Amino acid sequence: MSENRIRIHEVVTRDGFQMEPEFIPTERKIELIDRLSLTGLARIEVTSFVSPKAIPMLADAEAVMAGVARRPGTGMVALVANARGVERAIAARVDEVVLVVSVSESHNRANVRRSVAASFDGFREIVDLLRGTQIGVTGALATTFGCPFEGFQPLERVLRLVGEYAALGIRSVTLADTTGMGNPRQVRDMASAVRREYPEIEFALHFHNTRGMGLANVLAGIEAGVGRYESSLGGLGGCPYAPGASGNICTEDLVHMLHEMGCETGVDLSALLDASRLLASIVGHDLPGQVVKAGTSRDLHPMPTPAH
């Protein structure tokens, strides 16, 4: 991959919507996903095949997957938590599934009610079920850069858990800063270390902007050679088991920054900004994104008329 080519993975309709208090109608989810798939995003994390009791917002996963338009070049992705979830994902014809385990033992127990070891035991069954299909698998590591209950996690533990994914044959791993605790130096060092240890794996980074370091962390990740980033339209989202965590980094702000730096994303920023305005109308409240409010750095304004 060219060092100037950055792939963007959109997570708003899964990671973003699951934090909204009011149910978003299925047809509006489909409307937004179809708008996003026209922008050139590498993939869209559409939904999650988990218990509707756990996340009522995503109870319509099958209906959403059945209703979205499929366009070449944009993968339709879903998070799964167990064998039943992956069976549903296969039936819905997803392009890729995401598995999630926390680096932190306590966060994993809060998030999925099981130990880290038990999570990987379940992943083995999921990988077996996916054999013979064309569905890709990404393994995500939540709380890679810090846990709200345990604090910062040692590099050795992160490396060991990446190795657990590698042992399952998974060659795509996302390192997630679930709580927004990561800082640029830490991100650069961690991303460099995992890439050295596992050169056969393609890494992505997932940042939250909880403490205002989200885009700075992206720059650190690029310095370390990572070319894939997860973000949420409008900066929507958070984590129910990460006290104080605000939304993900904002997709349109990320794409704007990358374009101003001369990086290629394949994403149409103007279309993305239109999608962000649609999102605001769907959720009915203001969003954290900045570029949709201020305009791009290339937008010029008329000189003010001098007062007489």
Beta strands in 105-213 (DSSP E): 136-142, 172-177, 202-207
Question: What pLDDT is attached to residue 1?
Answer: 41
**Does residue 2 have a pLDDT over 60?**
no
Question: What are the Cα distances from residue 120, in Å, to 115, 144, 149, 252, 265?
Answer: 9, 16, 21, 34, 33
At a CB cut-off of 8 Å and minimum separation 6, what does 61 contact? 46, 47, 48, 49, 78, 88, 92
Return the minimum-mean-pLDDT range out of 24-28, 107-111, 172-176, 244-248: 244-248
Query: Domains of the chain, with CATH numbers?
Result: 7-294 (3.20.20.70)
- Active site members: 239
Q: What is the mean pLDDT of the chain?
A: 94
**Does residue 242 have a pLDDT over 70?**
no
The confidence band for 184, taking pLDDT boundaries of 50, 70 and 90, is: very high
